Amino acid sequence: MCPDTTRGRLADVAELAPRWADDIEPRISRARPEEWAVWGGLQLRIGAASVRDNHKQEAADALRMAHIAAVGLGREVISAPDYLRHFEPVTVTHQRAEHAAIQRRPDRVLRLHSAVREWVPAQGGGKSGRCRHLLDVVDAHLRLRDEARCVRVLQQVRAEAPQWIVAQRYAQDIMGRVIERRRTLTPEMRELADALGVPL
């Protein structure tokens, strides 16, 4: 498994993911869909590490390679039951939105989201990635000072993945920012803050 970019191991990802991607780069004439999916997924890991380390060109190049793989597949491919092994064009769009969120471009996050708003992952893959994407949407609404939509989408994520969201520091940080901005909280906000373990 590729090192987790959310735990501050950017150097590991930056070193290992490109090496692994080079090692397994598919041959167009005979690559299986699973091979394209794994290679495209590694490109996304490279892009995630690069954008967090402010290497914009490397991040853009990695997204371009992932897009090529996704367009070549043209469909969902699930090579293992975790979101890192789930790959398709929507996965790349989610990653583009994540890059925009990291670069504090909320308008772009919401534009990208509008293109994949109705997508639902196939059974066995993509749910964590979709929920993670929705947290970027939540963050974008808050950055645009639309607290009502921010809370509404956060509630949606909680309804879809109640056990997952309580372990997400990103969700807690967003809720903390909502609380800081408000003089008074709605009952829905209080309930959500309590569910996420965010002190009032």
Q: For residues 17-37, b (16+ Cβ closer than 10 Å) or e, as one string?
A: bbebbeeebbeeeebebbbbb
The residues spanned by each domain of the chain are: 5-119
Residue with tokens 């890059």: 99
Host H or E run for residue 42: helix 33-52
Contact 102, 51 (CB under 8 A): yes
Contact 115, 101 (CB under 8 A): no
- Per-residue pLDDT at 12: 63
E strands present in the chain: 77-78, 86-87
Q: What angle do CA 170, 164, 77 make, to 5 degrees?
A: 100
- The per-residue pLDDT string of the chain (200 residues; one tens digit each, 9 = 90 and over) reads 334 444 456 566 556 555 655 555 555 556 788 888 888 888 999 999 999 999 999 999 999 999 998 988 888 887 665 555 678 899 999 999 999 999 999 999 999 999 999 887 766 566 888 899 999 999 999 999 999 999 999 999 999 999 999 999 999 999 999 999 888 999 999 999 999 999 98
